[in-house]
């Protein structure tokens, strides 16, 4: 008789359980988005704490890059404690991330001289253990560096958010390379919903979960973070499928 322990299904189940467990076999705590359509796609029902996650803009422009930064700010805003935000370019705009719920008095802003120094600050912040989240804006992230960051996050149970930014097209291709991150996200700007009066409606994003360890990829049409860091599902997107809604819009033109 075949040994049940050698079954591929059993092996896959054990791997999924191992991914859900932290050091010492304890279940990892998570940070839910508060939206069933997203949380049900994530193992444990939310973003795993004590892990590394990657976020990038959907295109190469500044608009999608800003949306990705606000998406990250909304996640960090929903953690407890100070947030370390490390950059190499001095362009972090505090009023914008405050609108996504991350108030300036919670942010420790560090300007690193180069990518090497940035990654060192990122790792040290994750190992500290007294922070709610650590955000680092980086162009490149190798497998070796990401493994060090993932290990540091596991040690302190602090969430690490790698905000991928690049200055040139050649750096953008690095985002597709394998890393040790638990999830990888891409955020693109969509037209906001028209208002019955002159003005701009709440910003909308196409948020793509393009990699999820022990989970599946998915994408969502969402309303941008409010001043508490919360996302919202547009009322007309009832089935959680942004492709269908976008297809209906195109067909109606």
Query: Which pLDDT belongs to residue 170?
Result: 63
Domains in the chain, CATH or no CATH each: 24-252 (3.40.50.300)
Query: Which pLDDT belongs to residue 192?
Result: 85
Instruction: Report, as an integer, the average pLDDT of 171-188.
Output: 88
166 pLDDT more than 60:
yes
Query: Which pLDDT belongs to residue 225?
Result: 96
Poorest-pLDDT segment among 5-19, 130-144, 181-195: 5-19
User: What span, in angstroms and rounded, lies between the C-alpha atoms of 100 and 77?
Assistant: 8
Name the DSSP letter for residue 41: T
Q: Do the strands 183-190 and 52-57 form a parallel or antiparallel pair, or are they unpaired?
A: parallel
Instruction: Report, as an integer, the average pLDDT of 43-55.
Output: 96
pTM of the model: 0.82
Instruction: Report, as an integer, the average pLDDT of 157-175.
Output: 83
105-127 per-residue burial string, b: 16 or more CB within 10 A, e: under 16:
ebbeebebeebeebbebbbebbb
Q: Between 148 and 239, whose confidence is greater?
A: 148
Query: Which pLDDT belongs to residue 171?
Result: 67
Question: What does the mean pLDDT of the chain come to?
Answer: 86
């Amino acid at each position: 008789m075949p040994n049940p322990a050698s079954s591929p299904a059993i092996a896959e189940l054990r791997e999924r359980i191992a991914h859900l467990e932290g050091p010492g076999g304890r279940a990892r705590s998570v940070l839910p988005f508060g939206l069933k359509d997203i949380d049900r796609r994530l193992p444990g029902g939310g973003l795993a704490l004590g892990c590394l996650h990657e976020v990038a803009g959907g295109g190469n422009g500044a608009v999608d890059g800003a949306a990705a930064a606000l998406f990250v700010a909304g996640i960090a805003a929903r953690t407890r404690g100070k947030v370390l935000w490390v950059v190499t370019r001095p362009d972090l705009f505090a009023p914008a991330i405050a609108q996504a719920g991350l108030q300036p008095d919670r942010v420790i802003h560090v300007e690193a001289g180069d990518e090497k120094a940035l990654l060192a600050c990122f790792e040290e912040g994750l190992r500290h253990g007294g922070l709610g989240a650590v955000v680092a804006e980086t162009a490149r992230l190798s497998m070796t560096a990401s493994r060090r960051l993932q290990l540091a996050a596991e040690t302190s149970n602090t969430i690490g958010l790698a905000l991928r930014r690049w200055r040139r097209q050649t750096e953008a291709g690095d985002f597709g390379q394998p890393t040790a991150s638990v999830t990888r996200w891409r955020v693109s700007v969509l037209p906001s919903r028209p208002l019955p009066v002159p003005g701009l409606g709440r910003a909308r994003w196409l948020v793509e979960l393009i990699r999820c360890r022990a989970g599946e990829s998915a994408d969502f049409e969402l309303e941008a973070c409010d001043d508490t860091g919360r996302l919202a599902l547009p009322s007309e997107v009832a089935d959680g499928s942004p492709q269908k809604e976008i297809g209906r819009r195109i067909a109606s033109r």
